[in-house]
């Protein structure tokens, strides 16, 4: 699936909330995968590599995009999505609003 298709699937999951917050975690995982695939696509298109850690890949994002603000938003969204994708029994799942805010950043990144 393309990054845009993954982001659309994440939004679709949010339209059908289920019990125990599984829907928000599913949306988080799809959104994170969309973001990671888009960055990989951009790196490869510029002759870069995806062998580095994702954090290291994010460091070159301002140069890839030419937009430091969007690069910062993408790094923030990835950190939030990563944190939300690691389930801890003592934490509540992310809210629909949180997942939608992160998805908005993913959509802006894919469209840029």
pLDDT of residue 34: 95
**Cβ atoms of 51 and 33 closer than 8 Å:** no
Confidence category of residue 18, pLDDT binned at 50, 70, 90 = low
CB atoms within 10 A of CB 21: 16
* Cα radius of gyration (the chain): 14
pLDDT of 72 over the 90 cut: yes
What are the tens digits of pLDDT across the range 99-110? 899 999 999 999
Q: What percent of the chain has pLDDT over 90?
A: 40
């Amino acid at each position: 699936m393309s990054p845009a298709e993954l982001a659309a699937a994440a939004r679709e999951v949010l339209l059908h909330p289920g019990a125990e917050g599984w829907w928000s975690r599913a949306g988080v995982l799809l959104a994170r995968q969309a973001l990671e695939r888009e960055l990989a696509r951009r790196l490869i298109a510029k002759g870069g590599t995806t062998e580095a850690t994702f954090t290291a890949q994010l460091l070159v994002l301002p140069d890839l995009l030419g937009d430091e603000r969007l690069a910062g938003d993408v790094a923030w969204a990835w950190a939030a999505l990563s944190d939300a994708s690691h389930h801890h029994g003592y934490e509540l799942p992310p809210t629909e609003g949180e997942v939608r805010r992160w998805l908005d950043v993913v959509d802006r990144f894919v469209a840029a």
